[in-house]
Structure 1
């Protein structure tokens, strides 16, 4: 029977133990003395970071950049750029050191040497060595202090399969060398033996995501298979050597799949009896207590104990930012006290179930460790069943105090080179310098009672707390308050299940007939086409009726007849129809996503994001129309002035296939909500999806004749509607060639035409990403791969050129090629697929022609094979592409990437701007002056810094370009609807015989 102890009993013992530990940690505060009396620059950097939040940000950004800088002049220049910010007040010593005119000067060299040496010294306070030889020395020193260890290999983000295989091989080598060294170690009873059981002297800590470069919760089965193969190899070798293995926990998105993989693997016959394996729980997660309960129940079923390492969690900032940006529930506690309380609750849960689990309590908070000891003492927990853990370089005095009291202490020791270790260093610096950090508060001589007080929480520390709790999002008053809908989180099993069910439902409807909608009725047509699945062109998604020119004329007449009533419909009523349409899309989002995947070959996540965009267009434009409907009032004495808008008339929307729902919906509802009757002519290859949009608009309440769905041949029906004298607005997204023809045709005045037609056109791009020598290459490679090969390069915002500075060119292209090789190519319905087909046979043929032209003018760096049963083109990368080459200038609209080498940043900007397009562009840089210059000089409508260049979000990132990328205001922006409206000014003289009404006077 498990003993239950009262919290008050634990509290008294906790305080008693904590005071002893705290007293030991506060003796001989050499750290504080160094801050006051010594001239160690690494200590000064930490002290300055604690003293000023603004300096802390700039200092950490510089430290993040430092490993990428290749000369003292570069270091000195970046020092001035980051720390010369006039808004940040610098300490006198730092200000004096930065007072040099030229980075190449002797003072500049001295500053660079001083600071880079200080950062390296600081890094190696937290990193146990750069190679295995150094690590062995470190752990042997720890063992002399009676401390056990676990080794974590720092490394670049695993973005290629070669890197994933290397990660496994490096751990196998690490275990081999550590075990070989351990043959010479004498047994230390305090850490090598417990309750008569000999413990492994060697332990390593690994991350699941590093075993497979395409690790993704959406592809849970595929990720499990690939990861498990490598884990088995690791665990088998560890058993042969007698080493223990612990599995770390990472970002929240990977938590559930990590636990599921490990549970399944460690329940198998081969590994079920192993007890030298561990799993991590992060107490800052709201559902961590429930996860712990589930693990304990699973361990009871397993019948053999494992270690559960309990930590607070190291990704708080990242988790909160991601959840806020995605409009997802916050997975972490916002209040640190809630995390502390949850940590204590889980500690109790682990120790009260000590017969099923080994507890490893990882914390530098004296109270947290004292709490664990108090519970363990109260419950007489055997020493084998629990240990205390600290990070290397943090909590050293606490660790020593725990050792002195006879407890087993294990030190978590990361090792690796400074460059790949920088992300780890920044996390440690954030933790050390945070106001809420126990280490910092202890250094600041906070009262003992305050340091050791039970956590006072403002939110529930239990998993019953609603997951909807999130940080408040309050935009500044000059910004829109619009919040978009959240994409589905495929880390959640429910989202994956809904997606799979939707495909089953949609597949039962394949091959149906979809007819045009004219004047509120579906009409038969003489011509039909099959819409095919580009992943499998033998599969018919639906049969679509194409209207004739005569039917197009009937649709135009119906629209003219419906216009007078629609233009008089109050803006609020029109907006409410859009909101109902958004609600219907929300209800059908999994189904709509499945249609997009099957009809145009878009991968599941990207299809889901497109549904979000369509919903956002409806809701945002509804809000915007209500704002515009209020008009602008400018009154003076005796005169009223009203600036108002009225609809233009008949709008023809010609939508593309690459965003068949979002762009079709956005242009259509913009025209409708502004009071225009609208005819939607979709691309022929995506007409089934626009038929689904039609169903939704009808169900939402669009009146008869106001909206009409008119699929047809572009060369016939499209041309007829563009040239029709009753067309007022043409909203088009597509190729430059067709867009220019529309402009030319619309500019020609037709007989009986009494207005100038308004053309709103988006015509593609030849988008570039610049990667400079200071860039984070992990980020840059991932971002370029996503931007270039997401949806097979068929987004108008896709990256088709990457411009790389000479110093990093070879390193970048090598990783880019390996990362691209690691992508999965296949049918987009499969959750493992990252690269699907192109839209049809004509597109495939055109892209293949461009690839042959590229081979003639540049070097082929990569050409991946592609499946045959669909319209597939494998990703292609060309290197050393001339900036004026065909593949560097012409829009290809496929998975073809041109990599261009440049000597300096000025040349990079010139090359980036050297096309006829100006749609999207990106920059990967950690040089503030480059970022500032590019914001001004990079001629694109949407400019993205240190992120991928696709995936614009309604209201947050209105989308559109200029030059030959199009005209008109940005879709999803505050002035987009004005293009569908005619502005009017109405002025009235309200003076009568020398008097006029005055506000407030009868």
Structure 2
């Protein structure tokens, strides 16, 4: 059996990357494309043995990388970004084939963002610092010290972008990394290992272990030599990781689910509101930040719905490699079944499908909008992670805020209004890590990112990433007591 597969003319190694070498497992798992269900190849299936080897490699490489001057670390990270940009088309083709997201999005937005992740944190590293300050004549000096080996567990919906959102600051901080990509979309993580090695990243600084979380997750997250764990994914998996990490009190960063609201007030620009609403079908609804709950003020609800239906039904669903496609497939038959189960149960409970509400051929689900849903219903309270949206109405600002905050999640919220004072009032009351006013998905790496409640623990981005990936130290020095050796 070959250790390499070819995707769109791009060769991808299917083995792990541990200590600067390719390592095969005794067993494999099959990676399928969501576009047509075809088998892309056999991927090395990690065991606790490979997990332990990866952590050992990261531990061995840590002292050298931590001692590498900041400027040199930054130079290498910029070289990784150069490698990403050089292979941007290859990365886009492989990731589209592997996870079904739009090729045009990968080319124009996602892969350029991957390179930017490395450049941003490389540059931020060079300016990282805090002014010394005085305490009764004593000098306080704050430093960010590398923490040690980090385990980074990443999701399938934006594999490389979300992986590098963690890898880049962890490496910039002087840590070493064990990256465990999602088993449904592992291929671009393997390519990242090649790019990093070509950029001069020392052996063992970045390791990639593939496989099922149920088989290797505990070996990674409970390992006593791991100093940080960052995870993006579901709440149930986060609970298991947190329990595993608790054995060693390993600090965690968790970016979890969302059930975000889109609030549309009667004074809003309805064309803008509808445009933002239709954007929630991006990536076939497989976006944690998606505003899946439409909350619309009663006087404009009928008109909003009419305009939304007109715009949503004009979307093109099909092969994500086609430039004309707006919505691609869902990632996996299991995820498709989960989505359909949510909708079928909602319809049985009395919801009405204004559009969609059913599966299509292959791994596609029709863009869906449900009305007649109760606030305490499963479809309103639980994350579907597919192209399924709900619409409820409200009568006043107080009810809008109450409905918006009435879930266990708090990842994001979107607010559309023509009244600046209302925007300030309402956004200040929304429980969310990110609030967008008259816009959606505007992201800057300088900003803190994370969720409230069950949407996560901690914040990353900007200096917040370094705060997580480092041990902060304050050194206090007395003004006297020195021996003059002049």
Report the TM range for the smaller structure's normalisation: over 0.9
Match of 1:908 in 2: 400
Match of 1:620 in 2: 120
Q: Which structure's residues are more often strand, by fraction?
A: 2
Match of 2:230 in 1: 731
Is 1:982 matched up with 2:475? no
Is 1:682 matched up with 2:181? yes
Distance 2:120 2:484 in 1: 40
Contact 2:261 2:413 (C-alpha < 8 Å) held by counterparts: yes
Match of 1:960 in 2: 450
Distance 1:554 1:739 in 2: 23
Contact 1:990 1:996 (C-alpha < 8 Å) held by counterparts: no
Quote the offset at 1:953 in angstroms. 3.5
How do 1:552-631 and structure 2 match up within 5 A? Answer: 552-608=51-107, 609-628=109-128, 630-631=129-130
Distance 1:509 1:584 in 2: 15
Quote the offset at 1:864 in angstroms. 6.4
Unaligned 5+ segments in structure 1 are 1-504, 750-755
Distance 1:536 1:865 in 2: 19
Distance 1:780 1:581 in 2: 39
How do 1:316-395 and structure 2 match up within 5 A? Answer: none
Match of 2:263 in 1: 770
Distance 1:713 1:951 in 2: 33
1:637–1:808 Cα change, 3 Å? closer
Q: Which structure's residues are more often helix, by fraction?
A: 1
Partner of residue 826 from structure 1, selected from 302, 313, 318: 318
Distance 2:200 2:278 in 1: 42
Distance 2:137 2:448 in 1: 40
Task: Tell which structure's C-alpha radius of gyration is larger.
Answer: 1
Distance 1:635 1:699 in 2: 45
Quote the offset at 1:613 in angstroms. 1.9
Contact 1:621 1:977 (C-alpha < 8 Å) held by counterparts: no
Contact 2:153 2:182 (C-alpha < 8 Å) held by counterparts: yes
Distance 2:343 2:484 in 1: 74
Match of 1:534 in 2: 34
Is 1:516 matched up with 2:8? no
How do 1:218-257 and structure 2 match up within 5 A? Answer: none
Quote the offset at 1:990 in angstroms. 4.8
Quote the offset at 1:932 in angstroms. 1.5
Unaligned 5+ segments in structure 2 are 1-5
Distance 2:484 2:474 in 1: 21
Partner-residue secondary structure (3-state), 2:463: coil
Partner-residue secondary structure (3-state), 2:258: coil
Distance 1:929 1:883 in 2: 27
Quote the offset at 1:530 in angstroms. 2.5
Contact 1:613 1:953 (C-alpha < 8 Å) held by counterparts: no
Contact 1:578 1:618 (C-alpha < 8 Å) held by counterparts: yes
Distance 1:742 1:826 in 2: 36
CA deviation digits over 1:65-92, x for unaligned, max 9? Answer: xxxxxxxxxxxxxxxxxxxxxxxxxxxx
Partner-residue secondary structure (3-state), 2:85: helix
Partner-residue secondary structure (3-state), 1:917: coil
Quote the offset at 1:759 in angstroms. 0.3
Q: Report the TM-score when normalising by structure 1.
A: 0.46
Quote the offset at 1:574 in angstroms. 1.3
Quote the offset at 1:745 in angstroms. 2.0
Partner-residue secondary structure (3-state), 2:277: helix
Match of 2:428 in 1: 936
Structure 1 residue ranges, 4+ long, deviating more than 6 angstroms after superposition: none
Quote the offset at 1:851 in angstroms. 0.6
Partner of residue 851 from structure 1, selected from 317, 321, 343: 343
Aligned-CA RMSD value: 2.1
Match of 2:191 in 1: 692
Quote the offset at 1:780 in angstroms. 0.8
Distance 2:91 2:134 in 1: 49
Partner of residue 291 from structure 2, selected from 774, 792, 799: 799
Quote the offset at 1:784 in angstroms. 0.4
CA deviation digits over 1:490-516, x for unaligned, max 9? Answer: xxxxxxxxxxxxxxx951237x54110
Partner of residue 889 from structure 1, selected from 381, 384, 392: 381
Is 1:879 matched up with 2:376? no
Distance 2:467 2:121 in 1: 11
How do 1:259-270 and structure 2 match up within 5 A? Answer: none
Aligned residues: 479
Distance 2:413 2:481 in 1: 59
- Bigger RCO of structures 1 and 2 (CA < 8 A, at least 6 apart): 2
1:860–1:565 Cα change, 3 Å? same
Contact 1:650 1:728 (C-alpha < 8 Å) held by counterparts: yes
